[in-house]
Amino acid sequence: MEKKYLIVNPGSASRKYAVYSDGIEIFRTHFERENGGFVVAKKNADHEEKIKISEREFDESAEKTLAFLIADGIIADKNEISAVGFRIVASGDYFIKTKLIDGEYVKKLTEVQEMAPLHISAALSEIQKFTALIRGVPFVGVSDSAFHATMPEKARLYALPIRFGYHGISVQSVLRTARELIGKIPSRIIVCHLGSGSSITAVKDGKCLDTSMGFTPLEGVVMGTRPGDIDAGALIYLAKKLNLSPSELDEFLNQKCGLFGLSGKTNDVRELIALSEKGDENAKLALEIFAYRVQKYIGAYFAALGGLDLGNYP
């Protein structure tokens, strides 16, 4: 029997699942909020569809995905899953490598939860769910920072703690696709991962030269609910002016800024485009700021790379 591997990608605003067999994706689900409700996009080898779901079904996306897998005949039973891989967005040297998930791994992931709360809380929740749903198979934490370990020190270091970078798994996927399409990986590439969480990465000869996210996933371009690059002095001012504790400031920066804070309405680019077309100036401004910040990073990395052979927007 061919081995089947389940990949779990708990994002900051969505949940994605995929099953691979022999290195080929044979099934995928993508749960997200859309137009004030919840949907799941489901794809297998023969069919692709988008289904409206309830909030409860969104919260139970892991169980729903396993039910889809059985209903679509991908597996006859959940015990046919040979291993489960989880995308892990976490700071620290411990998480720079892909590792088996055990008690120590979960303990250390919990300890650094404050570094990337939107991602780590989601990852811990998914690990807990699948621990109850699928027993006796390896769980693997796939580092989202491993690809960026090749950054030179001039790009990697702050005058404070080190930078780790994120979305490395996405960048590696783009490089594989480039090799498949054109037969090689071009020497100088800029990869733009644009979603609720966004980052820009400069790739030189297949290795990370620099990337926009840093010690945590807060740094870089403006994102759905995160501000991206911001003057450190502004954070001190905000904490004092709004009388915010460190925990409250952390919540504010992760959940109330970015496109949501600029528009005052939503962090969904599709909704912002619709609002902008109806004359909403705040929505229009949010989109303009987002595009401008992306352009700035592309320009900076064009200079750092000394030119460009390929740009990609996954």
Just list the catalytic residues: 144
Determine if residue 268 is labeled as part of a ligand binding site. yes
In this structure, what are the phi and psi dihedrals at residue 81, rounded to the nearest 5 degrees? -70, 125
Determine if residue 228 is labeled as part of a ligand binding site. no
CA angle 150, 191, 299 (to 5 degrees): 95
Tell me if residue 308 falls in helix, strand or coil. coil
Determine if residue 188 is labeled as part of a ligand binding site. no
| Nearest residue to 197 (alpha-carbon basis) of 164, 170, 233 | 170
The residue ranges of DSSP E strands in the chain, in sequence order, are: 4-10, 14-21, 24-34, 37-44, 48-53, 81-88, 99-100, 139-143, 188-193, 199-204, 207-211, 310-312
Determine if residue 270 is labeled as part of a ligand binding site. yes
Tokens of 242: 């709004």
Determine if residue 279 is labeled as part of a ligand binding site. no
Work out the widest C-alpha separation in the chain, in whole angstroms.
62
Tokens of 36: 């004030």
Q: Who's near 26: CB < 8 A, 6+ residues apart?
A: 4, 19, 20, 44, 45, 74
Please report, as a single letter, which amino acid is at residue 309.
D
Determine if residue 241 is labeled as part of a ligand binding site. no
Determine if residue 35 is labeled as part of a ligand binding site. no
Determine if residue 119 is labeled as part of a ligand binding site. no
Determine if residue 194 is labeled as part of a ligand binding site. yes
The annotation places the binding site for Mg(2+) at 9
The annotation places the binding site at 9, 16, 87, 193-197, 268-270
The annotation places the binding site for ATP at 16, 193-197, 268-270
